[in-house]
Structure 1
């Protein structure tokens, strides 16, 4: 995969560190990485393309034309933007091209007319906190289904807490012969973050020195010019530094760090106590009690700006310095898990694949059939089609160029076992719920006649021999009949053990139904069961994640799910097929616009 990361910046930011972490791990996975930015401060792998993405006006138009040619010439598969300036460029660079654009946002977005007029954020948006997601939906009407909260990938190995109970590892030699506690304030020179750190110093430095006469105070502001550095060092009579190569190593030697966002996380993982002061809020020391709130506002950086509670900061600082204890080990392990680089990168690969497939085919029609009968039925739920109607449908698919897929095919494309260029432009998946014997008797001969694949969702408990949830008492397929179905045409998915509603059950009961039914069916047919159909189409917010946890690659709903099929593999939208659905109705239900139309019509 050939990935272009795009940034617009003139100084080191968290966005650049984020892109750097991703690109390092992507190269290890065999990707080719390119980077476009005004300037770079990290040693990125791959080719660096210096472009002023922070530019506006005529310069931006020149950049857009240049980048459009360059992307075509270099066969870029996907563009990942990490700043507003990059989004403003690449929205137009990629206009009309079959190249997806992913955007990662680290903070609130400034309101503008163009953002409300155009969704400049591309095909998929990842945000580092929930509050950013809420703002995009509320203020810019971005489709919530294409926004995902993904934390910063942090590869720092958690530091070892000091063996000395007095915490000497976080103290430095003092000229008077005493061990001096070491305090670092770290952030970016430009913007509100640096201003708030300087405001804190002006207000409280004298108080800190009275409370702790031997306190060693240091200020680290990335992007700080040398003249500014000297002025601040003279003004505060402290050690002031701009961009440093090994900030993590410095943080590890400190008693307390005042920081926000990514730096706050890295410091705590290094074994250092942290006071969270971001460009929006002061959160205090990172503790179990405020950890969820810290996740939601990216450790103080996201949200409406609040005044700094200077007295409270000093009170918290004094408490940490006097206790001189390392961070709670369970808290550090929790942060390691949440910010796991490997986990974040794995998820990005999924997002990339999904975005590429969506560009190839935005619509994936998944149709839900039940019974196929030689004549009409008295079924109260109308869950049947006649053989005549079903053959009419198969002729429609052939005439209009649809390609029927199994979920196995979808898996092969998703995981790169088959090239994306082979993904059909008009895919369709035919599914049959419950596993009726009439699927074998009446549907299979027609599927064989027209060479169309289908998926049957069968029950795994073979004591359930007929349909007790709909009138007609229809017989279900026996285990022997399921096993004998030709795998080239019929794929088997799970419909649970006994067709029971799952939302009313506990997590343990649901997991038992999901995993046990998968295991029994796989044992029967000797193949992997990749997909689950929720009985009655009835789900709650737990079920998609429990289906994922149970080892399914896909799960299907009934008339619900995200507008774009690849946005949630465990909540795929299916369309009900009824006995009266003729060619016009089928044309509508397989149209690219139908899913969005259906969801909006029902207020989703």
Structure 2
């Protein structure tokens, strides 16, 4: 893809570091990247274009918008990614009238502006860097939840744990010294550090970060008093490019956001203190809640940001009396959650989603079939369409000029492997669950006759040869045979997409999550091995899902998860819960018209409330 980042870079904040590392990760994957920023140089090989993004005068904003528009048109940019409100504002106007999507990463809580209600300046997709921020954007900023995805800032961790460079007992506060962070630093200088320095006679305190001149007056006074009393044990470092070196010389870090992430990933214990709250000593048990607030920087709801510094002092004293290393399990949690390659892949999905949402904004019918028998079945489960009736469906699709595609096809258009200008005017996706033998004898020949391909969702366990999840528990339910390996391979040879449907067809939400995750992951591996084809989509048995199960599907490496009668208004509203339309034995011409119409998803939500 051809990616343009727009950012305010007057000083090298965490958001700038994130944007630069993201740009480098995508460049390493072969994408072409440009950066528009108010910086003369940045540590990236991306093409840098100067613009005064931080200057909010209307005259400069117009210049910035003009620069961005020129770059977009000249370089044929596929997606614009902004990293500050100022960047989003000018990019929104720069892209007016162009079919280029806008993605914004929001790094902190947002103030409401008039332009927020008048213009959706954040664009087509919004990345919130933590769960609390996503909740804030939905509940307080009133953004559309479907356009917001929580993806943390990616970090390029070193190869291993930092080795301590010496045995000096040292606390390092790392962060900015202006604004809310400056107020926290001032409180530490007044209420925490004096007691610690007096109790621990060898302790040193390092103050690391930019904007030290903007430390609140009370903090400057407290700092001068500490320097007078403790001399060289107070290390005023200020801004430094050698944060890893200082981490290696630090016993305990106090900080939030990227500071906390890099410290924990390097094996350094962290007291998570941010602008919004104090999250305490980060442990395996507290990691999830600390990460949700970006280690104290972001609250989900507007509330007083008071911190119990007496509690923080007690925590620091307890730790320094008996220092403990960061556990291997916690380091692994942190490194997995913030892994730059994983984050870069997730962000690339957002780019693709924004691109498709812009180019194909309407509902794409995804129809769900199961059995295609010769004659009607004596079953209470109406999950079949006879061969005769199914041929009528195909004839109808042909008459209406509907073009069947697969999810794999769709993803090729999203990634740019296929040109968007060739995307079908009226696409439809035909899916078939479980892999019944009549799919081979009846379905496949009919689809080939019409020149169509579909998506076949199969179980990973090849030893399951009939619908045992139904027939074994209901004596009235007929036994329906499932294809053998050779028959399944015939679909691959015919150009069909194969999707996974778990190993054994359980209700995933009724299983312990690790067991459900195993069902999901093993099915992908088993099918890819047996059929020698890439598996990109997953179908939830019974349409049974919840957020942890969806997360397990994503973590297993699937790009899409398809549901039943639930999901977003479009595929890109939620790739892990794609809405599918149930197809029944006696569909009429009018029901086929309804279920394949662009307005059907809205109608269904209005009628059924889901």
The TM-score by the shorter chain falls in which range? 0.7 to 0.9
- Alignment match of 2:270 (pick from 265, 274, 278): 274
Q: TM-score, normalised by structure 2?
A: 0.82
- Aligned match of 2:101: 100
- Aligned match of 2:230: none
Aligned-residue CA RMSD in angstroms?
A: 3.9
- After TM superposition, the structure 1 = structure 2 runs for residues 426-505 of structure 1, keeping only pairs within 5 Å, are 426-435=426-435, 439=439, 443-444=443-444, 446-457=446-457, 460-461=462-463, 463-464=465-466, 468=471, 473=478, 476=481, 478-479=483-484, 482=488, 484=490, 487-488=493-494, 490-495=496-501, 501-505=507-511
CA contact (8 A) 2:110 2:141 kept: no
**Structure 1: distance between partners of 2:436 and 2:161:** 59
Between 259-268 and 321-330, report the one with greater CA deviation: 321-330
- Aligned match of 1:291: 287
- Aligned match of 1:123: 124
Does the C-alpha gap of structure 1 residues 404 and 515 become closer, same or farther in structure 2, counting only changes over 3 Å? same
- Aligned match of 2:198: 210
**Structure 2: distance between partners of 1:212 and 1:508:** 45
Does the C-alpha gap of structure 1 residues 487 and 429 become closer, same or farther in structure 2, counting only changes over 3 Å? farther
Which digits, 9 at most, give the CA deviation of each residue in 1:84-123, with x for residues without a partner? 2222222333334332222222222223344345443323
Does the C-alpha gap of structure 1 residues 96 and 132 become closer, same or farther in structure 2, counting only changes over 3 Å? same
- Aligned match of 1:177: none
**Structure 1: distance between partners of 2:344 and 2:108:** 20
- Aligned match of 1:245: 241
Which digits, 9 at most, give the CA deviation of each residue in 1:143-172, with x for residues without a partner? 33433322222223254344xxxxx8142x
CA contact (8 A) 1:434 1:476 kept: no
**Structure 2: distance between partners of 1:521 and 1:367:** 22
CA contact (8 A) 1:11 1:223 kept: no
1:265 aligned onto 2:266: no
Corresponding residue SS for 2:157: coil
Does the C-alpha gap of structure 1 residues 409 and 279 become closer, same or farther in structure 2, counting only changes over 3 Å? same
- Alignment match of 1:169 (pick from 166, 178, 190): 166
**Structure 1: distance between partners of 2:225 and 2:41:** 28
Between 202-211 and 286-295, report the one with greater CA deviation: 202-211
Which digits, 9 at most, give the CA deviation of each residue in 1:21-65, with x for residues without a partner? 212222222222212223477423222222233415454344324
- Aligned match of 1:563: 569
**Structure 2: distance between partners of 1:413 and 1:395:** 26
Q: 1:300 offset after TM fit, Å? A: 0.9
Q: 1:278 offset after TM fit, Å? A: 0.9
Q: TM-score, normalised by structure 1?
A: 0.83
**Structure 1: distance between partners of 2:216 and 2:434:** 72
Does the C-alpha gap of structure 1 residues 351 and 386 become closer, same or farther in structure 2, counting only changes over 3 Å? same
- After TM superposition, the structure 1 = structure 2 runs for residues 33-44 of structure 1, keeping only pairs within 5 Å, are 33-39=33-39, 42-44=42-44
Does the C-alpha gap of structure 1 residues 6 and 305 become closer, same or farther in structure 2, counting only changes over 3 Å? farther
Corresponding residue SS for 1:4: strand
In structure 1, runs of 5+ residues without a counterpart are 163-167, 172-180
- After TM superposition, the structure 1 = structure 2 runs for residues 174-253 of structure 1, keeping only pairs within 5 Å, are 181-212=169-200, 215-224=203-212, 237=227, 238-253=234-249
**Structure 2: distance between partners of 1:98 and 1:415:** 16
Which digits, 9 at most, give the CA deviation of each residue in 1:509-556, with x for residues without a partner? 656765676677667766555544333333344444444566655442
Which digits, 9 at most, give the CA deviation of each residue in 1:366-421, with x for residues without a partner? 11234557887776555455667645543554455432113443454566654555
Q: 1:208 offset after TM fit, Å? A: 4.2
CA contact (8 A) 2:374 2:387 kept: yes
1:11 aligned onto 2:17: no
- After TM superposition, the structure 1 = structure 2 runs for residues 74-153 of structure 1, keeping only pairs within 5 Å, are 74-153=75-154
Corresponding residue SS for 2:166: helix
How many residues are paired up?
590
Does the C-alpha gap of structure 1 residues 326 and 471 become closer, same or farther in structure 2, counting only changes over 3 Å? closer
Corresponding residue SS for 1:448: helix
CA contact (8 A) 2:372 2:438 kept: yes
Between 511-520 and 346-355, report the one with greater CA deviation: 511-520
Does the C-alpha gap of structure 1 residues 213 and 40 become closer, same or farther in structure 2, counting only changes over 3 Å? farther
- Aligned match of 1:365: 365
CA contact (8 A) 2:197 2:203 kept: yes
Corresponding residue SS for 2:189: helix
CA contact (8 A) 1:389 1:582 kept: no
